[in-house]
A and B are shown apart, each in its own frame.
Chain A
Amino acid sequence: MTDLEEDSKIDAVDRVIIRFAGDSGDGMQLTGDRFTTASAIHGNDLATFPDYPAEIRAPAGSLAGVSAFQVQISDHDIMTPGDAPEVMVAMNPAALKSDLHLLTPGGTLIVNRDTFEERNLAKAGYDYNPLEEGEDLEGYRIISVPMTSLTKEACKDLGVKPRDAERSKNFFALGLVSWMYSRPTEPTFEWIDERFAGKEQIISANKAAFSAGHVYGESAELGDQRVVVKAAPLASGTYTNINGNTALSWGLIAASQLSDLPIFLGTYPITPASDILHELAKHKAFGVTTFQAEDEIAAVGAALGASYGGHLGITTTSGPGVALKSETMGLAISLELPLVVVNIQRGGPSTGLPTKTEAADLLMAMYGRHGESPLPIVAAQTPSECFFAAIEACRIAITHRTPVMLLSDGYLANGSEPWLLPDVDALEPINVEYATEFNHIGEDGEADYWPYLRDEKLVRSMAIPGTPDLMHRIGGIEKEDGSGNISYDPANHSRMVEIRAERIKRIDVPDVEVVGDPDAEVLIVGWGSTWGSITSALGRVRSSGHKVAHVHLTHLNPFPKNLEEVLKGRSHILVPEMNTGQLSLMLRAEYLVDAKPISKVAGQPFTAGELEQTILTYVEEKSTS
């Protein structure tokens, strides 16, 4: 416990949700990220939600250019970045206009007063100054600070040009919020030194701005605003704060180490998946090859070529890219070669909402190819779980020689949470077996090699190029089971279609675990990134006296074997998903159960509050009907 926490004058709160909002050029993501790290190191549990603008360079000060970062920090285990922020920093009128409605009634609003002048007000669509007139801010606690001028003032003796000094104003905001939440200054100073190494002027300006913000809190009689969020009683061990795309990249590297196959990433830049390319490109020391191809099709083609050569072929993309890759995925299904296709889902169709989240590619993953072309689907449920989901997708691809779709989404990709680092030595190795010898006796009595001879899981034999004597040809034309020779025989085609379906069914996937009230009549079935919101919402629903059970699927094809058992006998099955009911459709088709979707397609994740309300309304109606 720090001195601050023992200071009896400072109130402790169990959790707080803070939103930093400003113009894209104001550095809000950096500020939010830095505050998150300081909180993580302090020992809080937390979850973040960076909310990027759709445009890369929207006009400064416009509504389209607002960039926000929301973080919930807490002294106990939490699953989401929270619903309504209690504290909001608005760096300009546009940020105020676009995000004020999110702030909880009675919440604290910190505004940079200097930006509330005519031009910026007009750009945000105000014909008055809400800090001085109107009723917009009624019911909130307003801390109106001239951040720009105070930052300039703090920097004036440092030899920094006023224009450059102004750029440090986000550090003023960070200093002020850090003071309010009793965060230590030292780690941030160290970080500034590291991050801006070699740029002495920027270092001194940022530090001066940060200190000025801190001092402002101290001296401006904001004493009653100061609170502390104590460390959360998390399981002991080493933690790091991680977002989904980084965890996923590391999971791919882990799978490469566990299988001893070098990673070959064939990819094409696309939001929100590109960060996986950036992350993997940094890790050549792990034998990682990253190939930025001419298009999505070449990206997956190259990955498949590398798989054929005995590497771990991976391609990363988002929905529109998956559409382009679907023909090659069909080829991989026909060739029965390992391939991992990572889809970081975003709002669609078409370009849709590239920077906003949605999980509406489940049916595309399941059925979005020509012909009968089943493949396994794995979905991650939290940012840190992306690590394990990536290993699982690679394990299935490698051991079952099949393309696998790994689903994540924009919310998981960019959101972060503290992660108790796993013991890497305890991760299970992935067994890779390539054929090196003849496996068949031909009609002439001579030994030969048949690439489509199968084991009991229906996994075919695979000899990689370079293996002496086992030369053979594979292709997308239908082939005879066993020999792999081209075959247009009707009975053989039926048999191959059956085999391709059956071999996916034979993949071992772990049973689902029922949490909450296991015997409840109401069952919530979730998949993917809704886990946090569902878990938080159900906690509240159950504490108001209702019985509800929850299962969360990470394997969507094949479904866990016990799922049928779990669904059977429930009176009510609700499926919250960020689409218009794709999993519920699959459950209905597979199990003939009355699964009802709870849909959200707004480019934003479910809040725990809205799920709580929907589920409560449902269970209450049900008990009165």
Chain B
Amino acid sequence: MTDVMDSEAVPETSRADWQSDQEVRWCPGCGDYSILTALQLLLPDLGVRREKTVFISGIGCAARFPYYMNTYGMHSIHGRAPAIATGLALARPDLDIWVVGGDGDMLSIGGNHLIHALRRNTNINILLFNNQIYGLTKGQFSPTSEAGKITKSSPVGLISEPFNPISVALGAEASFVARSHDMDRKHLQEVFSRAHAHPGASFVEVYQNCNVFNDGAFAEITKKDSRDDMLINLIHGEPIQFGSERQFGVVQTADGVEIANVNEVGIESLLVHDETRSNPSTAFALSRLAKGPTEPTPVGVFRAAVREEYASAMSGQVMGVAEERGKGQLKDLLHSLPTWEV
């Protein structure tokens, strides 16, 4: 998001200024805590005003987020946050709007709103906390749960294949798509701050541990000692390389991308990451690199492309017409069809 040009300097704030007086009520140990902390620590550095910041959420554990922020906020209904945020963003382009929700909220009941919000590219920051389970309703499978998963609603194993949220976002023409996880505050903050700076809809998937109903879903890739080998940090302009010895890299193949041994292929044949490609195919290929969070998985910014922002284009049309024809007069409107005198 672009910052609003305020005539007065934005006052200095600290983490405490962004915390509301409400007691935080997630299960102890829930990944949501670290995401909240990361954002509350980051916001003072973004040069934004609390009164111009709005958090909008749907329903679910993640959707409690707005209550904990000392900003404007709305805890709305299941799945609809991207739609409500779109209306607010169109009406009030001066605001800094964040949408927070989980995988059930945004990919199941609200899937339609999510893809269209991304397609339109309205200036909102969408944070999807993916824990691959329904938490608030106590443990049913979600649209990101892996096939075969045993849950309360799939006692003999889940039959369907999951969504890959990054692929969905790219398929929906999203202009900013990134992934991070709840075990690395610095990385979260880098990604959030990029998402905030992006003019248009930004989509961030955060791998979030639900320690009550799906504990350790991401542990294989996010544990401190396995991260180096399992997380592929995407850095714009650099060859995609990972591993404790940086011994692995990503190379392009005829039908996508694959992992290769740097020693075997040579560093010059590694794919150089370019977030700004207008064609999302390479970003999409990267999103398919890991079948799930058990294989080496790319994190960071997949795509940050420039596309027209919807709210400013819309207000441009409204203001353009007003300028061209002059401000509308009600009396003229009522006389705009054929009239006659009696």
Contacts and interface: CB of A to CB of B under 8 A. Distances in A.
Contacts of B69: 473
Nearest to A467: B51
Interface string B308-331: 000000110110111001111011
Interface stretch (A54-62, A120-128, A279-287, A567-575): A279-287
Given A294-B112, A471-B50, A240 B328 contact: no
A98 interface: no
Contact of A306 (B49, B88, B325): B88
Given A284-B318, A298-B80, A476-B76, A306 B331 contact: no
> Which of B89, B335, B340: most chain A Cβ within 10 A?
B340
Nearest to A327: B77
- Interface bin, chain B: 35 or more
A581 interface: no
A327 B331 CA distance: 38
A298 B328 contact: no
Contacts of B22: 473, 485-486
Interface in A168-221: none
A473 B83 contact: no
26 contacts: A40-B338, A40-B340, A41-B338, A237-B341, A286-B327, A287-B318, A289-B318, A293-B86, A294-B83, A294-B113, A294-B116, A297-B113, A298-B80, A298-B116, A302-B86, A305-B87, A306-B88, A309-B92, A310-B92, A465-B72, A468-B51, A472-B73, A474-B74, A474-B75, A476-B76, A476-B77
Contacts of B325: 285
A262 B80 contact: no
A465 B51 contact: yes
Interface stretch (A249-257, A270-278, A535-543): A249-257
A298 B112 contact: yes
A317 to B, nearest CB: 15
A159 interface: no
A462 B217 CA distance: 42
B100 interface: no
Nearest to A247: B334
Contact of A289 (B70, B77, B90, B328): B90
A310 B335 CA distance: 29
Given A285-B325, A294-B116, A475 B75 contact: yes
A599 B72 CA distance: 49
A308 B342 contact: no
A288 B95 contact: no
Chain A's interface size range is 35 or more
B84 interface: yes
A477 B72 contact: no
B321 A471 contact: no
Leading 3 A-B pairs by shortest Cβ distance: A305-B87, A475-B75, A302-B87
Q: Is the interface of A mostly helix, strand, loop or mixed?
A: mixed
A92 interface: no
B75 A473 contact: yes
A3 B333 CA distance: 34
Given A43-B342, A237-B342, A253-B333, A486 B67 contact: yes
A20 B226 CA distance: 79
B27 interface: no
A466 interface: yes
Contacts of A237: 341-342
Interface in A289-318: 289, 291, 293-295, 297-299, 301-311, 313
A331 interface: yes
Given A240-B334, A471-B70, 4 more contacts: A298-B86, A301-B80, A472-B72, A475-B73
B263 interface: no
